[in-house]
Amino acid sequence: MKQFLTIALVLFSISSFAVPKNTAGSNKKADSLWVRRNYEKREIAITMRDGKQLYTAIYSPKDNKSKHPILLFRTPYSIAPYGRDSFKAFWDFFWVDYLKEGYIMVLQDVRGRYMSEGDFVDVRPFNPEKGEGDIDESTDTYDTIDWLVNNLKNSNGKVGVLGISYPGFYATQAALCGHPALKAVSPQAPVTDWFAGDDFHHNGAFMLMDGFNFYSGFGKPRPAPTKHGAKGFDNYGTKDNYKFFLETGSLRNFRKLMGDSIKFWSDMYEHPNYDDWWQARNARKYVSHIPDSVATLVVGGLFDAEDCFGAWNLYKAIEKNAHNNNRLVMGPWQHGGWARTTGEHLGNVRFGSKTSEWYQKHIEEPFFRFYLQDKGDITDIKEANIYFSGGNEWRTFDKWPPEERKNKAFYLQPGGGLSLVIPEKESSSSKYISDPAHPVPYTEDVHFNRTAEYMDDDQRFASRRPDVLTFTSGPLTDDLMIGGPVTADLFVSISTTDADFVVKLIDVFPDDFSYDDKKDGAGWGKDYPMGGYQMLVRGDVMRGRYRNSLSEPEPFKPEQVTEVKFNLPDVAHVFKKGHKIMVQVQSTWFPLVDRNPQQNVNIYRAYDDDFVKSTIKVFHEATNASKIILPTLNPVNIMSK
């Protein structure tokens, strides 16, 4: 059975430390009693340099004979439950291990959210030239840490910070703060760039369903401190999200539904391109300010529907621009799955072990133990710790992307083939009609909330549509491992002046495939026909007008052959012997991505009658050879199809 989660629910569940489903009830009860007997809670307001006070919950060991490290978590999603006798349910979550090791756990509502004073600013830009009294998220972190180490008498003076998703953004900002007590930071699934690839835009294309569902509640103003969150839009009138988003129409209509009170939504409509406003909110921009003394552990999920881009690319930015000890972990997880699921499967696809537990015990906990307690060692935590789906195993690398990778071009072929050979025909293309009135769904189910499982879902439903082009290799004669960024390089022509291009990399299972319950784990997908399964390995969208620059859009010239080349987020996957490699190309992915009017108009101001059909041609000929470039880590051997 699939889980149906809106982005708001996903983010809230993480900030609330939701428990993996297989946690034993008796253990939870024992841990609950232990925490209450051994910890005490304080709630205080810590004053920032501009006089505003941030509401903070401090869970401290009752043991005052020892000195304890501090682990700080800053969130816009509430540090509830409030009240001295109301404890966060750490016993439902692996963070109970930190309490058992004596950590002081500090949770804080960020500026302008819930019980903290001040004005909230979404992804508040870092200010590298702060004057006296100037604030940003790094100064709020600095002032918080400074208060903690000077006022918590049982502290050992060492502080770590971590956070998942939006709190991952605050963890990144913490790394910039420069406080000498800060030793280790772990941004996890970090919000990093909301225009290029995280959450609300991918290559300039607006991720409509997540954006609307989330901001209709989260974005509402909070005039005064409160313990309660705002209610989101609830007048959908249907449980079919495809129907609702299609019938609502243009983004102009969604702005009417959202109303005028949500500032970020209005600001977004005024900044349709990657201008200075967006670039100031790119968390990668200032990572050079991370001190050498602060270790960073960037964590993400291979199948994260929200911030897969952020994890890969924040790590790369730190590697390029900072000089600290920086490490990367990517596992087979959905958004935050390493913290709230066992990591044994996602939807129908199995991973064969409790990957989340392995990460918790072998990477995250030792990382903080080493830097905050001076215990153990981190020699087993390599530079890049990457789980390869398909092969279902962890692998380590001295750098990422791996030095040994070789980029191999797989060319789209006439007749729907995919091979390493450049097509010989001088004139060859495949075409489809992209109709905004009948967009390609992102999954075959009829449902209300966006699924997490679409990231590795079966794509057979899309292969059967006339507006999706499918290109498939022959069966592999050996396993093929790929690791690193995937590049789509299409030569196209369109009949209009704009269009989107969605490219999907797919692992086609053999027709006789079935899981081995003893090796792969029992239960998940057992009633689903896995023979011939078309597993989405990676998919992404490029809004055509941004093909050459996210900042300076360019219309297409109708019927003129044009190159559209872009990177998809990194992959780590093994195509097993006997499997096939498939590439799908389409121009809608709904309602995941908003519809492109397919004309050179401002999409945020477009009217319903601005949406037109476009005839899309994808060329596979000698002079215009469309291809997908895969970062291979071993030789490629494919049977002819």
Strand spans (E) along 211-313: 295-301
Could you tell me what percent of the chain has a pLDDT over 90?
92
φ, ψ for residue 139, nearest 5 deg: -70, -35
pLDDT tens by residue, 190-199:
999 999 999 9
pLDDT (0 to 100) of residue 8: 40
φ, ψ for residue 100, nearest 5 deg: -65, -20
CA distance 404 to 469: 32
Give, for 435, the enclosing helix (H) or strand (E). none
pLDDT (0 to 100) of residue 21: 42
pLDDT (0 to 100) of residue 522: 75
pLDDT tens by residue, 22-53:
445 668 887 999 999 999 999 999 999 999 99
Pairing verdict, β 480-494 and 614-619: antiparallel
Neighbours of 433 (CB within 10 A): 13
Classify residue 59 as exposed, middle or buried by CB count within 10 Å of its CB (0-12, 13-18, 19+). Answer: buried
User: 1 pLDDT band (50/70/90 cuts)?
Assistant: very low
User: 524 pLDDT band (50/70/90 cuts)?
Assistant: confident
CA distance 478 to 167: 42
User: 9 pLDDT band (50/70/90 cuts)?
Assistant: very low
pTM above 0.85, yes or no: yes
CA distance 183 to 375: 14
Q: Which residues contact residue 26 at a Cβ distance below 8 angstroms, ignoring those fewer than 6 apart?
A: none
Order of strands across the sheet that contains 104-109? 39-47, 53-61, 104-109, 68-75, 155-164, 182-188, 295-301, 326-331, 384-388, 393-397
Identify the bridge partners of residue 491 per DSSP, sorted by sequence position.
563
pLDDT tens by residue, 204-246:
999 999 999 999 999 999 999 999 999 999 999 999 999 999 9
In order of their start, the domains of the chain are 7-192+283-289 (3.40.50.1820), 406-632 (2.60.120.260)
CA distance 475 to 102: 54
